[in-house]
Amino acid sequence: MNMRNSQKSGEQQYLTPTQVADMFKVSPITVRQWSSSGKLKCQTTPGGHRRYLPSDIEEFAKTSGINLTTSESGPKRVLIVEDDAQLGHLLEEFISELDSELEVYRAEDGFRAGELLHTVHPDLILLDLMMPGMNGFEVCERVKRDNKTRDIKVVAMTGYSSEHNVNRILAAGAETCLSKPIDFAALRTILAPLTQQAHA
């Protein structure tokens, strides 16, 4: 079970030459050249090894027009935004067992949702539209408006699926809108693309 709950902060905020090389699909030596010629900014360790910040990489990617094959290769991540503990847990279990390769995170409030959106950068969000202090429609709109997050698929969930609400959330960029109680068969179908890629 590859379930990753809330508090995890073992991310690395710097990149080594080989990691950068992998991102651009070139050899580490080439990355070294880019740095020594000043094309790619870098910091150095006291021992003289180069360290790269994500911002430096992005800038270089834009300047040189090379598209970076970022972390598309890693395991797929799903973020569940649901304040109901019971349903939330059920969804966690269901998705984890669908594919043990999937990393499942859950936010039980808006703050946590905002945090996880940017710290784990999920591939898909299961979003409860009706949560206290959080407007699900707005959240979806914001996700789709931000360049950094617009590639994330949003699957809405609501207990009041009026035609108006469904149209509104779809217009905001959501993939689909599931009515509660959740049809798990439908959910499985929706998640199929993620599991297929994870197995590939």
Q: Are 92 and 3 in contact (CB under 8 A)?
A: yes
The nearer residue to a second copy, 22 or 184, going by C-beta atoms, is 22
- List all residues 6 or more positions away from 171 whose beta carbon is below 8 Å from its beta carbon: none
Q: Given the rule CB under 7 A, which residues bind DNA?
A: 1-5, 16-19, 21, 26-36, 45-50, 147
Minimum distance, C-beta of residue 183 to DNA, in the bound complex (Å): 31
Residue of the chain from 100, 148, 171, 188 that contacts a second copy (CB under 8 A): 148
Q: Kind and range of the H or E element at 176?
A: strand 176-179
Minimum distance, C-beta of residue 134 to a second copy, in the bound complex (Å): 5
- List all residues 6 or more positions away from 188 whose beta carbon is below 8 Å from its beta carbon: 98
CA distance 17 to 29: 9
Query: Of a second copy, DNA, none, which one sits near residue 4, judging by CB under 5 to 8 A according to partner kind?
Result: DNA
Q: Is 109 in the site for a second copy (CB under 8 A)?
A: yes
Q: What is each CA distance from 73 to 39, 48, 54, 104, in whole angstroms?
A: 26, 30, 17, 17
Q: Is 46 in the site for a second copy (CB under 8 A)?
A: yes
Residue of the chain from 28, 114, 182, 198 that contacts a second copy (CB under 8 A): 114
For residue 6, which of 111, 81, 116 has the smallest C-alpha distance?
116
| Pairing, β 77-81 against β 103-107 | parallel
Minimum distance, C-beta of residue 131 to DNA, in the bound complex (Å): 24
Q: Are 104 and 141 in contact (CB under 8 A)?
A: no
Minimum distance, C-beta of residue 146 to a second copy, in the bound complex (Å): 5
Residue of the chain from 59, 72, 97, 146 that contacts a second copy (CB under 8 A): 146
Interface residues toward a second copy, by CB under 8 A: 6-7, 9, 11, 13-14, 22, 24-26, 30, 34, 39, 43-47, 51, 60-61, 64, 66, 83, 109-119, 131-135, 139, 142, 145-148
